[in-house]
Amino acid sequence: MFLQAKPVIAADSVKIVINKKVNKLAYIKNGAVVKVFPVATGKTSGLTPEGNFKVVRKLVNPYYNKKKIPGGSSRNPLGVRWLGFDACGTSGGTYGIHGTNSPKSIGKYVSGGCIRMLNKDVIWLYDNTPLKTPVEIINKDWDLEQKPVNIQVNGTLLSVDDQSRPYMERNRVLVPCRLVAESMGCTVDWDPVNQLAVISRGGNMMSMEVNSGEINVNGRAVQTEVKPVLKNGKLFVWVRNLAETFGYNIAWKYSTYTVMLTNGG
């Protein structure tokens, strides 16, 4: 018999993201990554379900039904904590984030579908995760160690998916070109053969080629510190190139990791 823990913080301020591609779990609070932990996931790609779920059950020293191993035993593969989530219509007893008695398995693809953590890590997660906390499981090219960057244009925070997430490289912010440029009122033309983008608005025009250190601004060659790149099939560009070409002021809000662009006229 195990007691279910009471929430310790508001669920609506917390989110858990698990990326199977890198076997990491991010604890996100108020939109910022607080901690990132290594995990183990399913031994085959389909075992650990992907999607959006919620924590619906919490147990201390969970009992291992399959082999009838009591909670707290060193033989128990579930470790010291269980946070069950409602994947595939289950009620929190089938899929869970839990500890392990095999720390060497962390970082590997070895589980039957659950997410394994080191016992010390799952204790922290348990203590800081209330019931109803959202759990998102993905399998994408996104290293959770890096804080997600937000982009705001003229006071509006742009909505991005994981494929379009702005990111930092050498303290420079790269943003999805089409999304941001069109939010600035620009037109974007893409030449897939030459991997060349032409962005224009009013009398200003900028063209840039993937992986080139030189861009063209109103017919003039300009060196750029950050080369345009293709990532997840999308063109990412240094946000300052867009801002300076089309007359936008740029500011950085460190507390929320947000780049703010405002039309300078």
| Calpha distance 217→138 (Å, rounded) | 38
98 is catalytic: yes
Strands 32-38 and 24-29: antiparallel
DSSP-derived letter for residue 61 is S
Q: Which of 122, 130, 53 is nearest to 94 (CA)?
A: 53
**Residue type present at position 192:** P
Alpha-carbon dihedral angle through residues 147, 151, 156, 159, given to the nearest 10 degrees: -70
Cβ–Cβ < 8 Å for 91, 56: yes
Q: For the purposes of burial, counting CB atoms within 10 Å of the CB of 253, is it exposed (0-12), middle (13-18) or buried (19 or more)?
A: exposed
Q: Which two three-digit tokens encode residue 119?
A: 């016992």
Q: Exposed e or buried b for every residue in 174-197, given b needs 16+ CB within 10 A?
A: bbbbbbbbebbebebeeeeeeebb
Q: Which residues share a beta bridge with 84?
A: 57, 96
- CA dihedral sign, ordered 21, 25, 29, 34: negative
186 is catalytic: no
Q: What are phi and psi of 109, to 5 degrees?
A: -100, 90
Q: Which residue numbers are catalytic?
A: 98, 114
